[in-house]
Amino acid sequence: MSRRRCRAPSTRAGSWGTRWRTPTGPPSPELDALLHGYGHEPIHVTGDDPVQIHRALAEAFDRALDTIAGIQRAARDSDGSGIGSGTGDEAGTGDEAGPGDGGAADGRPRWPVIVLRTPKGWTGPAEVDGKPVAGTWRAHQVPLSGVRDNPEHLRQLEAWLRSYRPEELFDAEGRPTADVLACVPEGAERLGATPHANGGLLTRTLPIPSLDNFAVPVDKPGATMHEPTRVLGGLLEQVMRDTADRRDFRLVGPDETASNRLDAVYDASGKAWQAQVLQVDEHLDRHGRTMEVLSEHLCQGWLEGYLLTGRHGLFSCYEAFVHIVDSMVNQHIKWLKTSRSLHWRAPIPSLNYLLTSHVWRQDHNGFSHQDPGFVDHVLNKSIEVVRIYLPPDANTLLSVTDHVLRTRDYVNVVVAGKQPCYDWLSMDQARVHCARGAGTWDWAGTENGDREPDVVLACAGDVPTQEVLAAAQLLRRHLPELAVRVVNVVDMTRLLPAADHPHGMSDFEYDGLFTTDKPVIFAYHGYPWLIHRLAYNRAGHDNLHVRGYKEMGTTTTPFDMVVQNDLDRYRLVMDVIDRVPGLAVRATGVRQRMADVRTRHHAWIREHGTDLPEVAEWSWTG
């Protein structure tokens, strides 16, 4: 961490919030202890005289920047062998680094933080309508709210503004004076032109190796199984290796890299760690670019700041807990939308989320770890900035990740499982399918091209895809005369109209894929109403029936999760029979057999604690 660019952190310790006093108001040992615990050495600047504060703050910045430079210099000269030794060598401060030297007692660098304490609302009105304002919570409000109809408020506002002596800064025409203009920097030193504030100017293309080197072989669909995120881990490891000299790619996550099967990256870059190393520790690296800490907020802040400097990254997280950063991603999306309208601001690498350990495979964690709603949250935001991908297997995950890591100025959300799942597509097929975003899997359906399908089975997500294919296989066996079309959706924004999203389908495309008058049974990874929202104004929406997660969860078997939420293969077959005209009577025996299997499932898992053999041992036979 200390080898690269950084900035001097600062905090303003205001005494008042909107209606109450904050505990960081007066100087206190507790505040210093808190900041020491965060790894900082406080530099206090306190007062109410603007001139004195200006000078003191300048001195504080000089001191902080000198300390940072010393820490970085020591880190770049060090091989990291003394990590956690307690010698203080890695901080470059001598035999025993102390808090005042830029190092902690165990050898970690202690970064400076400037704590500025000034009266809230200072230089503003001291009193309004007989009530104190400056230095109180009222300064957090609009101090003079009646300037339009209260002459005394207007007089106070004028006096306040004139206290800044604008006549010394502007001429009679309102132009800045020569003295002011002489202070304006030129060229790349301007705030809007410096790459330090416009990180996109520094962005380099990420060296992503050929996906063929990491793809799993697929001779026929569903013949083999792999853990998609473990396969992805091999690709990310190589990206880490190929950026070792540039150091412009990081993987961040809340202490879940190994749990999410991405631990191959440790072979290229361990976990960033500055403190003591114990014998039981593994994969700790003083200069590591795998950033782990059990705080989604901190991971989000790390990655946002990193991207704003023009560098690249990926945020890996349990699906249920990424909600912790909802408000933070809101602001980043708003920033991206606004920055796109500024011609001088260079695009930055996209904010990429990999959500795994997802809702359908929480075999040990249960209900508390089941929430697929982050996708809904993101799709509520500025639609031109957001992208959502649900790759159904390992090779499609490779293809999607290759794409999102190359993009600029987006928020990309990728949802993929870490548990073994079937391999459906070869690498070449995966590239084409992901580029298309949504398409038919002819090998899975029973259309022969002579007539329109009787029903469309659609799916998005790895577990829904498996259940749809199992349902298609059951229909092939029990109702062979039925023409079934199977559609898989990788890019969720493809369901939107073309007028609403750059990836959206025209009505012609959508109607051709899903038909306008045939039943569509859609098995979806998340909350089912999202599909209805995306497709609500399509011609065939009345024929759309969606199955998805409906807050039915617990610690149970994988198949029981889909049964509880009516997403299982047997329920999907029943939905087809209920919705294809004529089948309700003609196929009543098939429907009854499907319902009977579900009933048998409930008894079986309670007796054996495992799924039915025909489910646990199922495979695609075509």
Q: Which domains does the chain have, with CATH numbers?
A: 10-135 (no CATH), 205-421 (3.40.50.970), 438-616 (3.40.50.920)
List, in order, residues 6 or more apart from 47 with CB less than 8 Å away: 53, 56, 117, 118
Instruction: Express each pLDDT in 520-568 by its tens digit.
Output: 999 999 999 999 999 999 999 999 999 999 988 888 899 999 999 999 9
DSSP 8-state symbol, 426 = -
619 pLDDT above the threshold of 60 = yes
What confidence score (pLDDT) does residue 393 get?
A: 98
pLDDT of residue 238: 98
Please check whether residue 444 is in contact with residue 481, taking contact to mean a CB–CB distance below 8 angstroms: no
Report how far Cα 475 is from the mean position of its chain's Cα atoms.
Answer: 38
The amino acid that residue 72 corresponds to is Q
pLDDT of 101 higher than 80: no
Dist CA 115 CA 119 (whole Å): 13
pLDDT mean over 484-498: 97
The answer on pLDDT for 83 being more than 80 is no
**What is the predicted pLDDT for the residue at 255?**
80
Residue 334, Cα to own-chain centre: how many angstroms? 15
| 207, two tokens | 């060296």
Q: Kindly report which listed range (2-11, 14-23, 201-210, 298-307) carries the lowest average pLDDT score.
A: 14-23
Q: What letter represents residue 535's amino acid?
A: A
Residue predicted with more confidence, 470 or 78: 470
Mean pLDDT of the chain: 90
pLDDT tens digits, one per residue of 430-440: 999 999 999 99
- Rounded to the nearest 5 percent, the helix, strand and coil shares of the chain are 40, 15, 45
Which range has the worst mean pLDDT, 128-137, 222-231, 390-399?
128-137
Placement of tokens 């919030």 in the chain: 17
Nearest to 83 by CA among 285, 250, 289, 247: 285
Average pLDDT over residues 157-170: 94
d(CA 249, CA 242): 10
Q: Are 251 and 265 in contact (CB under 8 A)?
A: yes
Helix (H) / strand (E) element for 487: namely strand 484-489
Least confident of 46-60, 102-116, 162-176, 575-589: 102-116
Q: 460: part of which helix (H) or strand (E)? A: strand 455-460
Residue 26 has pLDDT above 60, yes or no: no
When mean pLDDT is compared across 64-68, 87-91, 426-430, 433-437, the lowest value belongs to 87-91
* Size of the chain in residues: 622
Which percentage of the chain shows pLDDT scores above 90? 76
At residue 41, the 3 state secondary structure works out as strand
Query: How many degrees, rounded to 5, is the angle at CA 622 between CA 217 and CA 548?
Result: 90
Token pair in block for residue 173? 């025409």
Structure confidence at residue 8 (pLDDT): 60
CB 384 within 8 A of CB 502: yes
User: pLDDT band at 97, cuts 50/70/90?
Assistant: very low
Helices (H) and strands (E) in the chain, counts: 18, 20
194 vs 7: CA distance, rounded Å: 15
257: CB partners within 8 A, 6+ apart: 251, 263, 265, 266, 271, 290, 292, 316
How many Cβ atoms sit within 10 Å of the Cβ of residue 536?
10
Assign 435 to helix, strand or coil: helix
Q: Mean pLDDT across the stretch 71-93? A: 53
* pLDDT(25) > 80: no
Q: Which residues pair with 349 in a beta bridge?
A: 408
Give me the mean pLDDT over the 237-265 stretch.
Answer: 95
Q: How confident is the model at residue 105 (pLDDT cuts 50, 70, 90)?
A: low
- For 402, residues 6+ apart whose C-beta sits below 8 A from its C-beta are 208, 211, 235
Whether residue 93 is predicted with pLDDT greater than 50 in this model: the reply is no
Express as a percent the part of the chain with pLDDT over 70.
91
DSSP assignment string, 542-571: GGEEEE---S---S--HHHHHHHTT-SHHH
* pLDDT tens digits, one per residue of 418-454: 999 999 999 999 999 999 999 999 999 999 878 899 9
Q: Which amino acid is at 516?
A: T
Q: Which of 379, 434, 365, 443 is nearest to 411 (CA)?
A: 379
Closest-CA residue to 2 (of 91, 95, 97):
91
Q: How many CA atoms lie within 13 A of 439 on its CB side?
A: 14
* Matching residue, tokens 């002459």: 151
Show the tokens assigned to 495. 């369901």
pLDDT tier for residue 6 given thresholds of 50, 70 and 90 = low
